[in-house]
Amino acid sequence: MKQFEKIDLSADLYRKANEQNKTFTEALEEIDPSGDYPDSTLDAFERQMAVRGLVVRGKRSLTAHGQRSVSLEVMYDKDNRVLFPELISRTVRKGLVLGRNSVNLDDIVAVHTPISGEVVKQVKFDTEQVSASRTGRRRVAEGGKFPLVTVSTGDKTIQARKFGRLLKISSEARRRMSVDLLLTGLEEMALQWGQDMVADAVNTLLSGASSLNTAASGTLAFADVLGLSIALNPYEGGILVADAAGCKALLGESNFRDTRLTDMNTSGVWPTVLGANVRLSTVSGLSNKILAVDPRFALEQVTEEGSMIQEEEHVIDGQWDKVAISIVTGFARIFDRSVKTLNTVWS
């Protein structure tokens, strides 16, 4: 197996990566391709951390005396500092999709599209002819016409918004803090800001969803959930999103809480409901509603390419009084019929 090689690093690599709308890791991969290490599971960034002996997370980051072996100061030794902004970005990306039972973007986004600006025209698939015609569901006779599907950009645009946090670390905290502790704080920070992004995504889905009502206002029965699944056909309600009250109603329904069908009491993982994963959201628009989503077809996320850190030099130079970490992203529905809501209170 080829030995890992230490690469001389400089901040110029971030500038080049940003100019090409790439991450720092992607730029490193061009210099040191992972294909050259077929027996290793590490990517180019992880190899540079490993070759410098920078183990920053978990028990392996402890010395025999129980002291953190990688402090913030160690990260500023020589060119280790150049790896720091990417380490922060990768940690934040991980934190954005944490949360076992809360809905996150991985649950509901079908397509990720990179963009270079904050406004982009939305691509729409017009399948109305197919839906309105029985020929969309059967063989076309000889000489007949196929139903038309039009793909175009119209007047609608996807407005990407900036989400993020401004991070300030005092000089005393920098002296005392381990990298492990900082990354733990960043993950929690990203977990919270990830829910801000999820709220935008869920509201986008709600704004285009058709709805149906439960048989009786104020109650939720097995037949109501089954009816929601049938109404969504031929799409599959792979994700059911609800607020706290809605989740309690779903998971408390007698047909779904049978302990013989789930290990929720031991694993903490919520059971599926008619094959769908139940996810919690705090979006106010979900009050008295259950949102059914086919995550394969429902939502596009557009994200501005480049680094999450506005000025990597601030981190590299240890200027922790003005570090902005952000992502520019937006959402658009792809196929409206792949989303439906069930109104539980409607009288």
**Final residue of a structural domain among 135, 155, 175:** 155
- Does pTM top 0.75 for this prediction? yes
Of 108, 128, 155, which one is at a domain's C-terminal end?
155
User: 323 and 231 in one domain?
Assistant: yes
Least confident of 13-22, 252-261, 275-284: 252-261
| Residue 249 pLDDT level (bands cut at 50, 70, 90) | very high
Pair (253, 151) in one structural domain: no
Domain shared by 257 and 295, yes or no? yes
- What is the count of structural domains for the chain? 2
Q: Is position 336 within any domain?
A: yes
Give the mean pLDDT of 2-9. Answer: 89
Instruction: Report CA 193 to chain centroid distance, whole Å.
Output: 11
- Using DSSP's 3-state secondary structure scheme, residue 286 falls into helix
In a domain, 253, yes or no: yes
pLDDT, position 321:
78
Q: Do residue 206 and residue 225 come from a single domain?
A: yes
Of the candidates 243, 236, 244, which has an alpha carbon nearest to the alpha carbon of residue 275?
A: 236
Whether 139 and 218 map to the same domain: the answer is no
| pLDDT-derived band at 131, boundaries 50, 70, 90 | low
- Residue 144: pLDDT above 80? no
| Residues 240 and 272 sit within 8 Å (Cβ to Cβ) | no
- Residues 148, 257, single domain; the answer is no
Residues 204 and 222 placed together within one structural domain of the fold: yes
65 occurs within a structural domain: no
Tell me which of 133, 155, 177 is where a domain ends. Answer: 155
Domain shared by 150 and 248, yes or no = no
Query: In the numeric block, which tokens belong to residue 77?
Result: 């030794």
Note the pLDDT tens digit of each residue in 180-214: 889 999 999 999 999 999 999 999 999 989 999 99
261 located within any domain: yes
Yes or no: say if 236 and 294 are a contact pair by the CB < 8 Å rule: yes
Give 301 or 150, the one with higher predicted confidence. 301
Asked whether residue 132 is assigned to any structural domain, the reply reads yes
Please indicate, yes or no, whether residues 205 and 336 belong to a single structural domain of this protein. yes
Which residues make Cβ contacts (< 8 Å) with residue 33, sequence separation at least 6?
44
pLDDT band at 64 (very low <50, low <70, confident <90, very high): very low
| Residue 304 in domain | yes
Q: Do 307 and 323 belong to one domain?
A: yes
Looking at residue 189, what is its pLDDT? Answer: 93
CA distance 139 to 324: 57
130 and 193 in a single domain? The answer is no
Locus of tokens 């009816």 = 227
Q: What is the pLDDT of residue 285?
A: 95
Ramachandran angles phi, psi of 295, nearest 5° = -65, -10
Sign of the four-CA dihedral 216, 220, 222, 223:
positive
Q: Are residues 247 and 328 in the same domain?
A: yes
Q: Looking at the predicted structure, is the pLDDT value of residue 73 above 80?
A: no
pLDDT value at residue 261: 65
- The DSSP code sequence of 60-83 is GGB-TTS-BS-BHHHHTSGGGGGG
- Comparing 243-247, 258-262, 286-290, 334-338, the range with the smallest average pLDDT is 258-262
- C-alpha gyration radius of the chain: 24
Q: Are strands 210-213 and 289-293 parallel, antiparallel or unpaired?
A: unpaired
Q: Note whether residue 24 is domain-resident.
A: no
Closest CA to 123 of 149, 151, 98: 151
Q: Is residue 127 part of a domain?
A: yes
Domain boundaries, position 249: 98-118+160-347
CB 170 within 8 Å of CB 177: no
User: Does residue 262 or residue 157 have the better pLDDT?
Assistant: 157
**Contact of 206 with 283, CB cutoff 8 Å:** yes
